[in-house]
Amino acid sequence: MLKIFTKLNIKLKFQGAKMIEKLKKFFLSVILRRKYYRTGQCNACGQCCSKIYVKHYKHVVTDEKEFERLQYLHRFYTYLKVVDKDDIGLVFECINLDPETKKCRIHKKRPGICRRYPQEELFSMGGALSENCGYRMEPIVPFAQVLDKLKRK
């Protein structure tokens, strides 16, 4: 999940991103500077709470000692435990995720970063939705482009 959290501390969730999707996203967001809007809804699968990357400044956290220091910055970080490390960085799972029900145990008191997830900025900044996430990020087509297309019909 990229639940934007502060300008400097970002929670990233990349899951199952396929290369073609990455290239498409790069083209739309970096080359065309497209923005996105969110559609769909949460199906409560819990995936975005079980595979989490933490981005600090411009890098994804790969070092446990560094992460220990970050835990003083925000309550949300104290909920995360390291479950793996891959070629992106440390992989965290939230301790509040009920492994049986896949539901958040502190749903009513969950942090703002979780309430706002998934934010459109996440996608523009390189995050990706979990594989079976019920949300989708659609690129915003500028009005002039829509008009131009209609005129050509």
DSSP sequence for 86-103:
-SS-EEEEETTB-TTT--
Q: Which residues contact 3 (CB under 8 A, 6 or more apart)?
A: 10, 11, 113, 114, 116, 117, 118, 119, 122
When binding is defined by CB under 6 A, the residue of 56, 74, 96, 139 that contacts ligand SF4 is: 96
Both tokens of 19, joined, read: 């290369």
Instruction: For residue 110, state whether it binds ligand SF4 (rule: CB under 6 A).
Output: yes
Which part of the chain contacts ligand SF4 (CB under 6 A), choosing from 53-61, 83-91, 130-138, 139-147? 130-138
State how far the Cα of 128 lies from the Cα of 123, in Å rounded to an integer.
6
Instruction: For residue 130, state whether it binds ligand SF4 (rule: CB under 6 A).
Output: yes
When binding is defined by CB under 6 A, the residue of 97, 122, 128, 137 that contacts ligand SF4 is: 97
Both tokens of 143, joined, read: 């009005």
Instruction: For residue 47, state whether it binds ligand SF4 (rule: CB under 6 A).
Output: yes
Kindly list the residues in this chain that would bind ligand SF4 in the complex (CB under 6 A).
42-49, 79, 94, 96-97, 104, 106, 110, 114, 118, 130, 133-135
